[in-house]
């Protein structure tokens, strides 16, 4: 199936045919992850054949301005290289240094030299098959023997080393049987896994997409909870300010009451006693007016606190909704991945995993 076809199938399984929830990039990422996982469990079996060439003659060695050059082949057999230029033969560790494993030569002046050398008879450069390489299963060398010969080997990076008595000889052929990752499908090319695994890929990618979206919703839930905490802090500040304003109301009303009591006691007690009472009544009115201003401030603060608390309620409800969706998507995603593992022959039981022998 092409990538676009897998996308369509995924949107049906995810109930997202309107493309409202998942982007194409998210679906592609889920597909890539599940194919990578499948490649680790039931990798593609591939075979590569090499024609052995051990003797290299009249190769041009290009040394750059930094006095660095590389041989065309590697690894090189120790002390077999001969470097010349215009009749001059250069001496190792005097005129130049060489890394026999990588073929790097340093120390020579910038120029084009002639080099002859032998390749290591126990090592083979397999860099040509590194793309997608997971593991080397076995090596057949030399080929076409009866019975077939499978020497013991080690694999390090891009080099394969024979560990027995067999040596690599010019003209012989060597076969490498190895495991590699499957080709990721694109809009123009299908993946190279067996066709019967198309549904497994769709099932697994559905699970991956659900888990990925659940993780994204978890981030949203955290953000909403943080908003709720911030809003609750704002409400607390408003309530504190309202409480302080109400304290002021009490203070100024007490002052007003005191002025009225003082004025009442002075009526007719001195000359123009009625004027004295009116004066104290004016004082009391001023205090009452200030108190009313603090009442207005307290009312404003209480209304603001009520608004913030309403926001807190909405944030809390949204967080709870996110958590419910996260739980449902996580369970559904894990169920899909379990189904995927079963489809590719992996038995999951009580936290342990068993890989069946069958391969795609």
Domain boundaries, the chain: 1-43+185-360, 44-180
CA distances for 338 relative to 137, 213, 309, 324, angstroms: 28, 18, 43, 21
CA 87/CA 83 separation, integer angstroms: 10
Helix (H) / strand (E) element for 47: namely strand 44-51
- Each of the 360 residues of the chain gets a pLDDT tens digit; together they read 999 999 999 999 999 999 999 999 999 999 999 999 999 999 999 999 999 999 999 999 999 999 999 999 999 999 999 999 999 999 999 999 999 999 999 999 999 999 999 999 999 999 999 999 999 999 999 998 899 999 999 999 999 999 988 899 999 999 999 999 999 999 999 999 999 999 999 999 999 999 988 888 777 777 777 777 777 787 778 778 777 877 776 776 677 677 666 665 555 555 454 566 667 677 767 776 777 787 777 788 778 777 777 777 777 777 777 788 888 888 999 999 999 999 998 766 544 444 443 333
CA 321/CA 304 separation, integer angstroms: 26
Q: Give me 105's structure tokens.
A: 């030569």
CA distances for 109 relative to 72, 174, 268, angstroms: 19, 38, 121
Residue 98, class by beta-carbon neighbours within 10 Å (0-12 exposed, 13-18 middle, 19+ buried)? buried
pTM listed for this prediction: 0.68
Looking at the DSSP bridge assignments, the partners of residue 112 are 62
Q: What is the DSSP string of 203-250?
A: HHHHHHHHHHHHHHHHHHHHHHHHHHHHHHHHHHHHHHHHHHHHHHHH
CA-nearest of 198, 199, 205, 160 to 178 is 160
Residue whose structure tokens are 């909405």? 314
Distance of CA 358 to the CA centre of its chain: 31
Instruction: Residue count of the chain, please give it.
Output: 360
DSSP 3-state assignment of 124? strand
Residues 6+ apart with CB under 8 A from 79: 92
Q: For the CA atoms of the chain, what is the radius of gyration?
A: 41
- Provide the pLDDT for residue 270: 52
The neighbour count for residue 20, using CB atoms within 10 Å, is 8
């Amino acid at each position: 199936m092409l990538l676009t076809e897998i996308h369509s199938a995924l949107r049906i399984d995810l109930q997202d045919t309107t493309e409202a929830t998942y982007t194409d990039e998210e679906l592609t990422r889920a597909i890539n992850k599940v194919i990578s996982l499948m490649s680790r469990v039931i990798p593609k079996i591939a075979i590569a054949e090499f024609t052995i060439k051990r003797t290299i003659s009249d190769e041009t060695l290009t040394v750059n301005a930094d006095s660095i050059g590389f041989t065309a082949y590697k690894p090189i057999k120790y002390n077999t290289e001969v470097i010349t230029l215009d009749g001059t033969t250069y001496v190792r560790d005097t005129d130049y240094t060489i890394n026999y494993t990588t073929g790097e030569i340093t120390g020579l002046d910038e120029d084009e030299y002639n080099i002859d050398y032998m390749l290591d008879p126990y090592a083979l450069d397999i860099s040509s098959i590194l793309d997608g390489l997971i593991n080397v299963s076995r090596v057949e060398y030399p080929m076409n023997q009866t019975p077939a010969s499978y020497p013991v080997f080690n694999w390090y990076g891009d080099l394969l080393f024979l560990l027995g008595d067999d040596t690599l000889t010019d003209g012989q052929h060597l076969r490498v049987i190895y495991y590699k990752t499957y080709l990721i499908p694109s809009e123009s090319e299908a993946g190279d896994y067996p066709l019967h695994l198309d549904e497994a890929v769709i099932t697994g990618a559905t699970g991956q997409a659900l888990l990925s979206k659940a993780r994204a919703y978890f981030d949203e839930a955290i953000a909403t909870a943080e908003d709720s905490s911030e809003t609750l802090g704002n409400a607390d500040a408003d309530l504190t300010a309202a409480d302080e304003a109400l304290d002021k109301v009490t203070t100024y009303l007490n002052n007003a009451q005191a002025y009225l009591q003082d004025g009442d006691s002075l009526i007719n007690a001195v000359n123009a006693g009625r004027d004295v009472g009116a004066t104290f009544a004016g004082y009391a009115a001023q205090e009452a007016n200030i108190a009313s201003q603090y009442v207005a401030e307290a009312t404003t603060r209480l209304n603001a606190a009520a608004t913030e608390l309403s926001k807190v309620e909405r944030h809390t409800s949204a967080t709870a909704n996110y958590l419910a969706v996260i739980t449902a998507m996580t369970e559904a995603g894990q169920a899909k991945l379990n189904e995927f593992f079963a489809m590719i022959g992996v038995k999951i039981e009580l936290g342990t995993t068993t890989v069946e022998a069958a391969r795609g």
